[in-house]
Amino acid sequence: MDDQMNALQKQLVPVRGGKPGPAGVTLSLLTGFRLTQIAAWPETLAAAAAGCQTAPAQGGCTCAVPDISSARTLMQVSGPQAPVLLNPFLPQDLRPSAFPAGCATSTAFHHVGVTLWRTNAGFTLALPSSFAASLRELLEGSALQYGLKTRETPFIPAEGELE
């Protein structure tokens, strides 16, 4: 599904707003990522991860490998005020000593289950696509007090970071 349209791509207009001066927060819509789910019997999971065709059949089924990329929208929150912006929304200690780069967790953002990971560039949120627009609006509205920049950027995992 190469022509997939991210839930926010139709709505995102790059802006710079809020507090004058340099942006304290940059919200980036990450595009072009792929998310695949692998479902297999415990005995065949390793083979399924290597390639579903090589997994031996268990009851006629080896595994299912659906592309679920359209189920999630990736937003990167970066800048010096990113942890301050996210703290009121997430029940997570975001200090670097408690949640360093490379860490990931499943958490709740405004009562919505999300996946959060910290990279060297900032924080990445995997939002359910059906909630992405409303959660983005919350972030944008709150980020204005720090100076906000929004943009769309391709998803390119950095060497050694969570992929």
Q: How many CB atoms lie within 10 A of CB 133?
A: 15
Confidence class for position 18, pLDDT limits 50, 70, 90: low
Confidence class for position 123, pLDDT limits 50, 70, 90: very high
Bridge partners (DSSP) of residue 154 are 31
Q: How many CB atoms lie within 10 A of CB 33?
A: 18
Task: Measure CA of the first residue to CA of the last residue in the chain; give whole Å.
Answer: 20
33, 90, 109 from 86: Cα distances, Å: 23, 6, 9
| Residue 60, pLDDT score | 55
Where along the chain do its domains lie?
A: 16-35+70-154
Decide which of 54 and 73 is more confident: 73
- CB 80, CB 19: distance < 8 Å: no
| Residue 40, pLDDT score | 78
| Residue 160, pLDDT score | 53
Q: What percent of the chain has pLDDT over 90?
A: 44
What mean pLDDT is predicted for residues 24-36? 86
Query: Is 50 exceeded by the pLDDT of residue 112?
Result: yes
What mean pLDDT is predicted for residues 80-95? 94
| Residue 4, pLDDT score | 47
Q: Which among 65, 25, 6, 39 has a CA at the least distance from the CA of 145?
A: 25
| Residue 64, pLDDT score | 76
Decide which of 77 and 65 is more confident: 77
CATH number of 16-35+70-154: 3.30.1360.120
